[in-house]
Amino acid sequence: MDKLLIKNGIVIDPLTKTEVKRDIYIENGIIKDLPVKKPTVDKGVVKTISADGLIVFPGLIDMHVHLREPGYEYKETIKSGMEAAISGGFTSICCMPNTKPVNDSEEVTRFLIDKAKNLDLINLFPIGAISKGLKGVSLADIGKLKEAGAVALSDDGNPVEDSALMGRALLYADTFNLPVISHSEDIKLRGKGVINEGVMSERLGVIGMPSIAEDIGTARDVILAGYYGVKLHVAHVSTAGSVNIIKQAKKIGIKVTCETCPHYFSLTEESLLDYNTNAKMNPPLRTEMDKRAVVEAIQDGTIDVIATDHAPHSKDEKDDTLDAAPFGIIGLETSLPLTLRLFHDKKISLIRIAELMSLNPAKILNISGRGSVSNGYIGDITVVDLNKKWQFTEREIKSLSKNSPFIGEKFKGKTSFVMAGGKILKEN
């Protein structure tokens, strides 16, 4: 398919901040201004998609995904993860390095990129480790990772405890203009906590993780970035405290960006009531007050990105006590519908959604040619039916793992078409 015409959709372009009913023409995988001579003339050569009454977004980018390959293919493979992503409307995903072996080398980065190339589905952008083996003891070969194709660095899941290592990692990565994504948390203060410390941890009688463990971690990382004058991206912000620290930091010119995940603006610690291990993740679900702060930060621009922190775990692993079950939930297939709720509730615009889920991740990760629906950009497109009502059932989950607290949830708004580089991957 070299020529594709998407007709009559309402095109949301975050780059020009426009929301206009127009046609999109894609030739050889690239978005082009419509030729003067309408390409519809020679029928059969141009494939036409009717987007009547549908919303056309630039292809969604999830900059925080855990694919479990290599090493834990029983939880998720690159292929199953991509299928879940396509189902959820994503055309690009970035995979975190906590695989086995850890992606701290050019070999693993190349393996991921080659594998994705062979699958020929959506785009995969690997994130390399900050420290060798995610151990927080010595720097990974960061230049080599960049050369192999890594778009960012993170020790996600293993916060870098040593401030000297974190500071020098920020500086060294800056040499290569490679963004660093921090899992900001004071791990000693988190201790053996399994859910947010507060009313719910008391009620369930489990050890809590104080919200300030995240705040302190965020403050430290923001201070490091400010002192050294380098960029920092804070992953999965979940507390009112972190939001406030980042807001203040941005005000004084610190080059910090951040993301939150749909569960932090959709759920609270109340979801843990039944010792629900599918509501256990790190950072944990917080309080109503935190949830409100996250929503406000999405509205006022403090939060730049919505990412899923898609973390698949097998049924058997999650079928355990709250103490023993692993942290993490899947998120690729529910991210857009949960975010659309903010639109339906009149909290944010569709343009803002396109910023949060496409343009900003592309900008932060220096991914060129993506994040906008304009001339010359790559033909990554997500078409959404805003009003389609549906229910998220376990049977429909494309991910190999089913650990979602949203099973059974009713949504309004669903992905209709997904195309990457002009190639249609999902059609109704």
Partner 1 sequence: MSFQKKDLITIKDLSASDINYFVETAKEFKKISLKDIKKVPTLRGKTVVNIFYEPSTRTRSSFEIAQKRLSADSLSITVSQSSVVKGESLKDTLLNLEAMKPDAFVVRHSESGAAHFISKITKASVVNAGDGINEHPTQCLLDIMTVAEVKKDFKSLKVAIIGDIYHSRVARSDIYGFSKLGAEIYLYAPHSLLPRMIEYGGGKVFIAKSMEEAVKNADVIIMLRIQKERASYYFIPSIEEYRNFFKLTPELLSKADKKVIVLHPGPVNRDVEISGSIINENKTHIFKQVENGVAVRMACLYILIGYQKLNG
Residues noted as catalytic = 309
State how far the Cα of 328 lies from the Cα of 312, in Å rounded to an integer: 7
Cα 200 to chain centroid, rounded: 27
Looking at the Cβ atoms of 11 and 142, the one nearer to partner 1 is: 142
- Least distance to partner 1, CB of residue 250, Å: 22
CB 56 within 8 A of CB 415: no
Looking at the Cβ atoms of 143 and 198, the one nearer to partner 1 is: 143
Looking at the Cβ atoms of 139 and 350, the one nearer to partner 1 is: 139
Beta bridge partners of 152: 127
Q: Is residue 94 classed as helix, strand or coil in its secondary structure? A: strand
Looking at the Cβ atoms of 139 and 424, the one nearer to partner 1 is: 139
Looking at the Cβ atoms of 19 and 161, the one nearer to partner 1 is: 161
Looking at the Cβ atoms of 168 and 398, the one nearer to partner 1 is: 168
Residue type at position 347: K
- Least distance to partner 1, CB of residue 150, Å: 13
State how far the Cα of 166 lies from the Cα of 84, in Å rounded to an integer: 33
What are the residues binding partner 1 (CB under 8 A)? 132, 138-144, 162, 164-165, 168-169, 171-172, 174-176, 228, 230
State how far the Cα of 227 lies from the Cα of 168, in Å rounded to an integer: 12
To 5 degrees, how large is the angle CA 113–CA 115–CA 119? 115
Max CA distance (Å), the chain: 70
Looking at the Cβ atoms of 66 and 146, the one nearer to partner 1 is: 146
Looking at the Cβ atoms of 140 and 261, the one nearer to partner 1 is: 140
Residues 6+ apart with CB under 8 A from 136: 155, 158, 160, 161, 162, 165
- Least distance to partner 1, CB of residue 137, Å: 9
Distances (CA, A) of 120 to 91, 113, 159, 251: 11, 11, 33, 42
- Least distance to partner 1, CB of residue 143, Å: 4
Beta bridge partners of 47: 4
The full DSSP string for 183-207 is ----HHHHTT--EETTHHHHHHT--
- Least distance to partner 1, CB of residue 136, Å: 10
Residue closest to 300 by CA, chosen among 355, 338, 340:
355
Beta bridge partners of 414: 385
State how far the Cα of 371 lies from the Cα of 65, in Å rounded to an integer: 18
Question: Is residue 135 classed exposed, middle or buried when 0-12, 13-18 and 19+ CB atoms within 10 A define those classes?
Answer: middle
Number of alpha carbons in the 13 Å side-chain half-sphere of residue 295: 22
Which uninterrupted H or E stretch holds 65? strand 60-65
CB 398 within 8 A of CB 426: no
